[in-house]
Amino acid sequence: MADRKSFVAVLGTLTCLSALASLAVAQQPIAPLVVKPLKGGVYWTAGGAGGNTGFIIGQNSVTVIDAKTTPESAKEMLAEIAKITPKPVKTVILTHSDLDHVNGLAGFPKDVKVIAHENNKKEQEVALKAGGVRAPPADYLPAQVTTKERENLTIDGVRLTLIHVGPAHTSGDLAIYLPSQKIVFGGDLILNRPEPLLHPEKNSSSEGWIRFVKTLVALDADTFVAGHGDLQTKADVQTKLKVAEEKRAKVKAMVAEGKSLDDIKKSLGEVSAPAQPGAPQFASFTEVVYQELTKK
Protein backbone atom coordinates (compact mmCIF):
# COMPACT_ATOMS: atom_id res chain seq x y z
CA MET A 1 0.00 0.00 0.00
CA ALA A 2 2.83 2.38 0.88
CA ASP A 3 4.46 1.68 -2.48
CA ARG A 4 1.24 2.49 -4.29
CA LYS A 5 0.63 5.75 -2.40
CA SER A 6 4.23 6.74 -2.96
CA PHE A 7 3.94 6.03 -6.67
CA VAL A 8 0.74 8.07 -6.96
CA ALA A 9 2.42 11.01 -5.24
CA VAL A 10 5.46 10.71 -7.48
CA LEU A 11 3.23 10.42 -10.55
CA GLY A 12 1.48 13.66 -9.67
CA THR A 13 4.81 15.40 -9.27
CA LEU A 14 6.12 13.94 -12.54
CA THR A 15 2.98 15.08 -14.37
CA CYS A 16 3.59 18.66 -13.24
CA LEU A 17 7.30 18.45 -14.02
CA SER A 18 6.53 16.96 -17.40
CA ALA A 19 4.30 19.88 -18.30
CA LEU A 20 6.97 22.39 -17.27
CA ALA A 21 9.75 20.41 -18.92
CA SER A 22 7.82 20.08 -22.18
CA LEU A 23 7.42 23.83 -22.30
CA ALA A 24 11.11 24.28 -21.52
CA VAL A 25 12.09 21.87 -24.27
CA ALA A 26 9.89 23.79 -26.70
CA GLN A 27 12.02 26.89 -25.97
CA GLN A 28 15.35 25.14 -26.49
CA PRO A 29 17.19 25.05 -29.84
CA ILE A 30 15.59 22.44 -32.06
CA ALA A 31 16.59 20.56 -35.16
CA PRO A 32 15.49 22.04 -38.48
CA LEU A 33 12.23 20.70 -39.86
CA VAL A 34 12.85 18.28 -42.72
CA VAL A 35 10.24 16.79 -45.06
CA LYS A 36 10.89 13.22 -46.20
CA PRO A 37 8.94 11.40 -48.93
CA LEU A 38 7.49 7.95 -48.32
CA LYS A 39 5.36 6.74 -51.24
CA GLY A 40 2.07 7.35 -53.01
CA GLY A 41 1.88 11.04 -52.16
CA VAL A 42 2.63 10.42 -48.48
CA TYR A 43 5.36 12.31 -46.59
CA TRP A 44 6.59 12.57 -43.03
CA THR A 45 8.47 15.33 -41.26
CA ALA A 46 11.18 15.25 -38.61
CA GLY A 47 12.57 18.15 -36.63
CA GLY A 48 10.83 21.35 -35.73
CA ALA A 49 9.11 21.86 -32.39
CA GLY A 50 7.14 18.79 -31.39
CA GLY A 51 6.61 15.26 -32.57
CA ASN A 52 6.89 13.86 -36.06
CA THR A 53 4.08 14.67 -38.44
CA GLY A 54 2.87 13.37 -41.77
CA PHE A 55 0.89 14.60 -44.70
CA ILE A 56 -1.00 13.02 -47.57
CA ILE A 57 -1.61 14.77 -50.87
CA GLY A 58 -5.10 14.02 -52.12
CA GLN A 59 -6.90 14.91 -55.34
CA ASN A 60 -7.62 18.50 -54.35
CA SER A 61 -6.29 18.99 -50.82
CA VAL A 62 -3.79 17.85 -48.21
CA THR A 63 -4.42 15.87 -45.02
CA VAL A 64 -1.93 16.41 -42.19
CA ILE A 65 -1.27 13.95 -39.36
CA ASP A 66 -0.45 15.71 -36.06
CA ALA A 67 0.25 19.39 -35.63
CA LYS A 68 3.59 20.09 -33.81
CA THR A 69 3.94 21.94 -30.48
CA THR A 70 3.80 25.59 -31.47
CA PRO A 71 1.86 27.59 -34.05
CA GLU A 72 5.19 28.81 -35.42
CA SER A 73 6.44 25.26 -36.06
CA ALA A 74 3.09 24.34 -37.60
CA LYS A 75 3.33 27.31 -39.95
CA GLU A 76 6.86 26.25 -40.87
CA MET A 77 5.52 22.80 -41.73
CA LEU A 78 2.67 24.31 -43.79
CA ALA A 79 5.22 26.40 -45.69
CA GLU A 80 7.21 23.26 -46.51
CA ILE A 81 4.04 21.53 -47.72
CA ALA A 82 3.32 24.54 -49.97
CA LYS A 83 6.72 24.04 -51.62
CA ILE A 84 5.63 20.54 -52.66
CA THR A 85 2.02 21.16 -53.65
CA PRO A 86 -0.24 24.20 -54.11
CA LYS A 87 -3.19 22.20 -52.76
CA PRO A 88 -4.59 23.58 -49.48
CA VAL A 89 -4.48 21.75 -46.15
CA LYS A 90 -8.09 20.95 -45.33
CA THR A 91 -7.85 18.14 -42.74
CA VAL A 92 -5.77 17.30 -39.69
CA ILE A 93 -5.89 13.89 -38.00
CA LEU A 94 -4.54 13.69 -34.45
CA THR A 95 -2.90 10.55 -33.09
CA HIS A 96 -3.34 11.63 -29.44
CA SER A 97 -3.71 14.69 -27.21
CA ASP A 98 -0.15 15.40 -26.01
CA LEU A 99 0.73 19.06 -26.44
CA ASP A 100 3.68 18.33 -28.74
CA HIS A 101 1.20 16.84 -31.23
CA VAL A 102 -1.77 19.21 -30.90
CA ASN A 103 -0.75 22.71 -29.75
CA GLY A 104 0.46 23.67 -33.21
CA LEU A 105 -3.14 23.57 -34.44
CA ALA A 106 -3.37 27.27 -33.65
CA GLY A 107 -1.06 27.84 -36.63
CA PHE A 108 -3.48 26.20 -39.08
CA PRO A 109 -6.26 27.99 -40.99
CA LYS A 110 -9.41 28.35 -38.89
CA ASP A 111 -11.45 26.33 -41.39
CA VAL A 112 -9.28 23.19 -41.11
CA LYS A 113 -11.23 20.07 -40.16
CA VAL A 114 -9.75 18.26 -37.15
CA ILE A 115 -10.38 14.52 -36.69
CA ALA A 116 -9.51 12.60 -33.51
CA HIS A 117 -10.73 9.91 -31.16
CA GLU A 118 -13.45 11.14 -28.80
CA ASN A 119 -11.21 10.58 -25.75
CA ASN A 120 -8.57 12.80 -27.34
CA LYS A 121 -11.17 15.57 -27.53
CA LYS A 122 -12.16 14.96 -23.91
CA GLU A 123 -8.53 15.20 -22.81
CA GLN A 124 -8.14 18.50 -24.65
CA GLU A 125 -11.31 19.80 -23.01
CA VAL A 126 -9.90 18.88 -19.58
CA ALA A 127 -6.67 20.71 -20.44
CA LEU A 128 -8.62 23.80 -21.55
CA LYS A 129 -10.55 23.86 -18.27
CA ALA A 130 -7.24 23.62 -16.41
CA GLY A 131 -5.89 26.73 -18.12
CA GLY A 132 -5.20 25.56 -21.65
CA VAL A 133 -1.40 25.22 -21.48
CA ARG A 134 -1.54 21.66 -22.77
CA ALA A 135 -4.17 22.19 -25.47
CA PRO A 136 -4.76 24.41 -28.50
CA PRO A 137 -7.54 27.04 -28.44
CA ALA A 138 -11.10 25.74 -28.22
CA ASP A 139 -11.64 26.81 -31.85
CA TYR A 140 -9.47 23.86 -32.86
CA LEU A 141 -11.20 21.12 -30.88
CA PRO A 142 -11.87 18.08 -33.12
CA ALA A 143 -14.92 18.64 -35.29
CA GLN A 144 -15.16 14.94 -36.15
CA VAL A 145 -14.54 12.21 -33.60
CA THR A 146 -14.39 8.46 -33.97
CA THR A 147 -15.44 5.90 -31.38
CA LYS A 148 -14.94 2.77 -33.46
CA GLU A 149 -12.12 0.25 -33.24
CA ARG A 150 -11.71 0.61 -36.99
CA GLU A 151 -13.17 3.27 -39.23
CA ASN A 152 -12.51 3.24 -42.97
CA LEU A 153 -12.47 6.66 -44.58
CA THR A 154 -11.77 8.10 -48.00
CA ILE A 155 -10.50 11.66 -47.73
CA ASP A 156 -10.16 13.45 -51.04
CA GLY A 157 -9.62 10.19 -52.91
CA VAL A 158 -7.18 8.65 -50.38
CA ARG A 159 -8.21 5.49 -48.53
CA LEU A 160 -7.21 5.22 -44.90
CA THR A 161 -8.26 3.42 -41.74
CA LEU A 162 -8.44 4.98 -38.29
CA ILE A 163 -7.64 2.42 -35.59
CA HIS A 164 -8.39 2.67 -31.87
CA VAL A 165 -8.08 -0.58 -29.94
CA GLY A 166 -8.46 1.06 -26.53
CA PRO A 167 -6.42 3.05 -24.00
CA ALA A 168 -2.67 2.56 -24.53
CA HIS A 169 -0.24 5.52 -24.53
CA THR A 170 -3.29 7.64 -23.62
CA SER A 171 -7.01 6.92 -23.53
CA GLY A 172 -7.53 8.43 -26.97
CA ASP A 173 -4.80 6.99 -29.19
CA LEU A 174 -5.48 6.75 -32.89
CA ALA A 175 -3.29 5.03 -35.48
CA ILE A 176 -3.69 5.91 -39.16
CA TYR A 177 -3.24 3.06 -41.62
CA LEU A 178 -2.80 3.65 -45.35
CA PRO A 179 -3.41 0.24 -46.94
CA SER A 180 -2.38 1.17 -50.48
CA GLN A 181 0.96 2.57 -49.31
CA LYS A 182 1.40 0.00 -46.47
CA ILE A 183 2.19 2.80 -44.01
CA VAL A 184 1.12 3.23 -40.38
CA PHE A 185 1.32 6.52 -38.50
CA GLY A 186 1.43 5.33 -34.89
CA GLY A 187 2.00 8.53 -32.93
CA ASP A 188 3.55 7.86 -29.53
CA LEU A 189 2.39 4.26 -29.53
CA ILE A 190 5.62 3.71 -31.44
CA LEU A 191 8.74 5.48 -30.23
CA ASN A 192 12.49 5.15 -30.62
CA ARG A 193 12.93 3.90 -27.08
CA PRO A 194 13.25 0.37 -25.66
CA GLU A 195 9.98 0.38 -23.72
CA PRO A 196 6.54 1.96 -24.13
CA LEU A 197 5.87 5.43 -22.77
CA LEU A 198 2.53 5.55 -20.97
CA HIS A 199 0.57 8.43 -19.44
CA PRO A 200 -1.43 7.20 -16.40
CA GLU A 201 -2.80 10.72 -15.91
CA LYS A 202 -4.53 10.20 -19.26
CA ASN A 203 -5.79 6.71 -18.37
CA SER A 204 -3.14 4.81 -20.28
CA SER A 205 -2.88 1.02 -20.15
CA SER A 206 0.13 -1.27 -20.43
CA GLU A 207 -2.10 -4.21 -21.32
CA GLY A 208 -3.93 -1.98 -23.79
CA TRP A 209 -0.65 -0.88 -25.36
CA ILE A 210 0.30 -4.51 -25.98
CA ARG A 211 -3.09 -5.27 -27.49
CA PHE A 212 -3.00 -2.12 -29.66
CA VAL A 213 0.51 -2.76 -30.99
CA LYS A 214 -0.35 -6.40 -31.72
CA THR A 215 -3.13 -5.05 -33.92
CA LEU A 216 -0.72 -2.75 -35.73
CA VAL A 217 1.91 -5.40 -36.49
CA ALA A 218 -0.84 -7.65 -37.86
CA LEU A 219 -1.55 -5.07 -40.58
CA ASP A 220 -0.17 -5.43 -44.10
CA ALA A 221 2.30 -2.61 -43.52
CA ASP A 222 6.05 -2.27 -43.84
CA THR A 223 6.66 1.33 -42.72
CA PHE A 224 5.75 2.64 -39.27
CA VAL A 225 6.07 6.36 -38.59
CA ALA A 226 6.94 6.92 -34.94
CA GLY A 227 5.73 9.87 -32.92
CA HIS A 228 9.39 10.77 -32.33
CA GLY A 229 12.58 9.53 -33.92
CA ASP A 230 13.28 7.54 -37.06
CA LEU A 231 10.98 5.36 -39.13
CA GLN A 232 10.37 1.86 -37.81
CA THR A 233 10.08 -1.42 -39.67
CA LYS A 234 7.60 -4.11 -38.69
CA ALA A 235 10.50 -6.07 -37.17
CA ASP A 236 11.43 -3.03 -35.04
CA VAL A 237 7.89 -2.78 -33.70
CA GLN A 238 7.67 -6.52 -33.08
CA THR A 239 10.86 -6.33 -31.00
CA LYS A 240 9.43 -3.53 -28.86
CA LEU A 241 6.24 -5.54 -28.42
CA LYS A 242 8.15 -8.63 -27.29
CA VAL A 243 10.17 -6.64 -24.75
CA ALA A 244 7.03 -5.06 -23.30
CA GLU A 245 5.13 -8.35 -23.08
CA GLU A 246 8.00 -10.09 -21.31
CA LYS A 247 8.57 -7.30 -18.82
CA ARG A 248 4.88 -6.96 -18.00
CA ALA A 249 4.68 -10.71 -17.38
CA LYS A 250 7.69 -10.53 -15.03
CA VAL A 251 6.25 -7.61 -13.07
CA LYS A 252 2.88 -9.34 -12.83
CA ALA A 253 4.48 -12.50 -11.46
CA MET A 254 6.44 -10.55 -8.83
CA VAL A 255 3.38 -8.54 -7.81
CA ALA A 256 1.57 -11.85 -7.27
CA GLU A 257 4.43 -12.84 -4.95
CA GLY A 258 3.84 -9.70 -2.92
CA LYS A 259 7.08 -7.96 -3.86
CA SER A 260 7.37 -4.20 -3.48
CA LEU A 261 8.05 -1.84 -6.35
CA ASP A 262 11.60 -1.28 -5.13
CA ASP A 263 12.19 -5.04 -4.95
CA ILE A 264 10.81 -5.50 -8.45
CA LYS A 265 12.99 -2.75 -9.90
CA LYS A 266 16.05 -4.21 -8.20
CA SER A 267 15.20 -7.67 -9.51
CA LEU A 268 14.93 -6.27 -13.03
CA GLY A 269 18.20 -4.40 -12.65
CA GLU A 270 16.58 -1.00 -13.07
CA VAL A 271 18.43 2.02 -11.76
CA SER A 272 16.92 5.48 -11.97
CA ALA A 273 19.18 7.69 -14.04
CA PRO A 274 19.69 11.33 -12.98
CA ALA A 275 17.24 13.64 -14.71
CA GLN A 276 18.68 15.65 -17.57
CA PRO A 277 18.12 19.42 -17.24
CA GLY A 278 15.03 20.46 -19.16
CA ALA A 279 14.14 16.91 -20.15
CA PRO A 280 10.56 15.67 -19.61
CA GLN A 281 10.20 13.26 -16.68
CA PHE A 282 7.94 10.23 -16.99
CA ALA A 283 7.16 7.18 -14.90
CA SER A 284 8.95 4.06 -16.15
CA PHE A 285 7.10 1.18 -17.77
CA THR A 286 7.76 -0.95 -14.68
CA GLU A 287 6.32 1.73 -12.39
CA VAL A 288 3.20 2.12 -14.49
CA VAL A 289 2.61 -1.63 -14.72
CA TYR A 290 3.08 -1.98 -10.95
CA GLN A 291 0.55 0.78 -10.30
CA GLU A 292 -1.98 -0.79 -12.64
CA LEU A 293 -1.66 -4.21 -11.01
CA THR A 294 -1.83 -2.99 -7.41
CA LYS A 295 -4.47 -0.29 -7.53
CA LYS A 296 -7.73 -1.07 -5.78
CATH code assigned at 38: 3.60.15.10
Tell me what the pLDDT averaged over the chain comes to.
91
Q: Does the predicted model carry a pTM greater than 0.75? A: yes
Other CB atoms within 10 Å distance of the CB of residue 167: 22
What confidence tier does 19 reach under pLDDT thresholds 50, 70, 90? very low
Poorest-pLDDT segment among 75-79, 105-109, 153-157, 272-276 = 272-276
What confidence tier does 253 reach under pLDDT thresholds 50, 70, 90? very high
Residue 98 belongs to what domain range? 2-294
Please, which residues bridge with residue 54 across strands? Answer: 44, 65
Poorest-pLDDT segment among 49-58, 149-158, 274-283 = 274-283
Calpha distance 36→128 (Å, rounded): 33
Task: Say how many domains are in the chain.
Answer: 1
What is the mean pLDDT of the segment spanning 131-147?
94
Calpha distance 12→75 (Å, rounded): 33
